[in-house]
């Protein structure tokens, strides 16, 4: 197996020499990719060119995948989700929510392990639609000892409705029903991972801190998010058609930079099921 990992920045690395045949068939690939992901946080496979069948098959080599049978999900491959504003104008508000920093699955008992995204159609302007990443493992490590001690016992309420209302203060009844199908979830502010690492559990879904005055808690969450996502700590991926990017959803924030509804931007996503509850 002639596959190498080239560091792009403190968060993020490029995987070279991994063609489609290798990724789908080499017995060493699953362990190699998962180890590289844990070490780097974000992996980029430039201009790989997976179709849905190949992307689904590769992701199933990494673990169980999230499968759904509803609008936006492929009928043939129910683990592939089509991220595109123009698939349904009602999806616009949801898609715009991805412009804010977030970690997927913060209202779940066990968040997703990783997300795998491929670029299919890109906006005409390369300035639109980049995907940005920031490590909350590194953000925790940068805290002072006093802050680490103070934050150790804090609990944060995560809410999809609160997140949605930041961009859409007056959601429709249909949107509210969808958002309230996943009730708020209390999570520790600091996630103590099985590996011994710690990460901050923050992002746009973080509504308030239990036992703290609402304004004070909101200020602290906003401050931590700002500190975690300073430009010098962010990897911004400028997409080329066919790129595949994998990130460690357990400790990496992400967001899409804004793009126009009519840009045609289309990404296909597969989510790897998590195996570690936040604790």
For residue 145, the enclosing domain spans: 4-272
Instruction: Say if residues 156 and 186 touch (Cβ distance below 8 Å).
Output: yes
| 3-class secondary-structure state, position 272 | strand
Is 63 exposed, middle or buried, given 0-12, 13-18 or 19+ CB atoms closer than 10 A? middle
> How high is the pLDDT of residue 264?
84
- Between CA 277 and CA 108 the distance in angstroms is 9
- The verdict on residue 277 lying in a domain is no
43: in domain: yes
In this structure, what token pair is assigned to residue 153? Answer: 């016992």
Task: Say how far apart CA 95 and CA 81 lie, in whole Å.
Answer: 13
Q: What residues form DSSP beta bridges with 119?
A: 267
CB 62 within 8 A of CB 272: yes
The total of structural domains in the chain comes to: 1
CA–CA–CA angle 5, 10, 15 (5° rounding): 20
By the 10 Å C-beta count (0-12 exposed, 13-18 middle, 19+ buried), 177 is classed as: exposed
Q: Is 156:209 a contact under the CB 8 Å cutoff?
A: yes
* 233 CB neighbour count, 10 Å cutoff: 18
Note whether residue 30 is domain-resident: yes
- Residue at 48 is within a domain: yes
Residue 70 belongs to a domain = yes
Q: Is residue 278 part of a domain?
A: no
At 136 the pLDDT is 98
Residue 79 domain-assigned? yes
Q: Is 181 exposed, middle or buried (0-12, 13-18, 19+ CB in 10 A)?
A: exposed
Residue 135: CA count within 13 A, CB half-sphere = 22
What is the distance between the alpha carbons of residues 203 and 206, in angstroms, rounded to a whole number? 6
Tens-digit pLDDT string for the chain (279 aa): 789 999 999 999 999 999 999 999 999 999 999 999 999 999 999 999 999 999 999 999 999 999 876 666 777 888 999 888 765 544 555 566 688 999 999 988 899 999 999 999 998 777 788 999 999 999 999 999 999 999 999 999 998 766 666 666 666 666 656 665 678 889 999 999 999 999 999 999 999 999 999 899 999 999 999 999 999 999 999 999 999 999 999 999 999 998 887 788 899 999 999 999 998
Bridge partners of residue 56, in order along the sequence: none
Give the pair of three-digit tokens for residue 202.
């923050």
Instruction: Read off the pTM.
Output: 0.91
State residue 89's pLDDT score.
46
Q: How many other C-beta atoms are found inside a 10 Å radius of the C-beta of residue 195?
A: 11
41: domain CATH number is 3.60.130.10
């Amino acid at each position: 197996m002639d596959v190498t990992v080239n560091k792009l920045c403190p968060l993020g690395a490029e995987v070279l020499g991994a063609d489609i045949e290798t990724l789908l068939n080499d017995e060493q690939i699953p362990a190699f990719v998962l180890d590289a992901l844990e070490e780097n946080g974000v992996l980029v496979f430039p201009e790989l060119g997976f179709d849905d069948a190949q992307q689904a098959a590769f992701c199933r080599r990494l673990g169980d995948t999230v499968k759904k049978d509803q609008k936006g999900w492929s009928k043939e491959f129910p683990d592939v989700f089509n991220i595109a504003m123009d698939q349904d104008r009602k999806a616009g508000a949801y898609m715009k929510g991805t412009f804010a920093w977030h970690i997927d699955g913060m209202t779940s008992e066990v968040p997703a392990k990783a997300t795998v995204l491929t670029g299919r159609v890109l906006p005409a302007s390369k300035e639109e639609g980049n995907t940005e990443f920031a490590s909350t493992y590194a953000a925790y490590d940068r805290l002072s000892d006093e802050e680490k001690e103070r934050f150790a016992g804090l609990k944060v309420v995560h809410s999809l409705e609160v997140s949605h209302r930041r961009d859409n203060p007056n959601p429709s009844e249909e949107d509210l029903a969808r958002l309230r199908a996943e009730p708020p979830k209390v999570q520790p502010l600091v996630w103590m991972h099985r590996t011994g690492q710690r990460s901050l559990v923050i992002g746009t879904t973080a509504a308030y801190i239990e036992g703290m005055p609402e304004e004070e808690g909101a200020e602290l969450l906003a401050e931590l998010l700002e500190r975690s996502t300073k430009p010098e700590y962010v990897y911004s991926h400028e997409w080329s058609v066919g790129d595949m990017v994998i990130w460690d959803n357990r400790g990496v924030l992400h967001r899409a930079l804004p793009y126009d509804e009519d840009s045609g931007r289309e990404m296909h996503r597969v989510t790897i099921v998590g195996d570690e509850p936040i604790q």
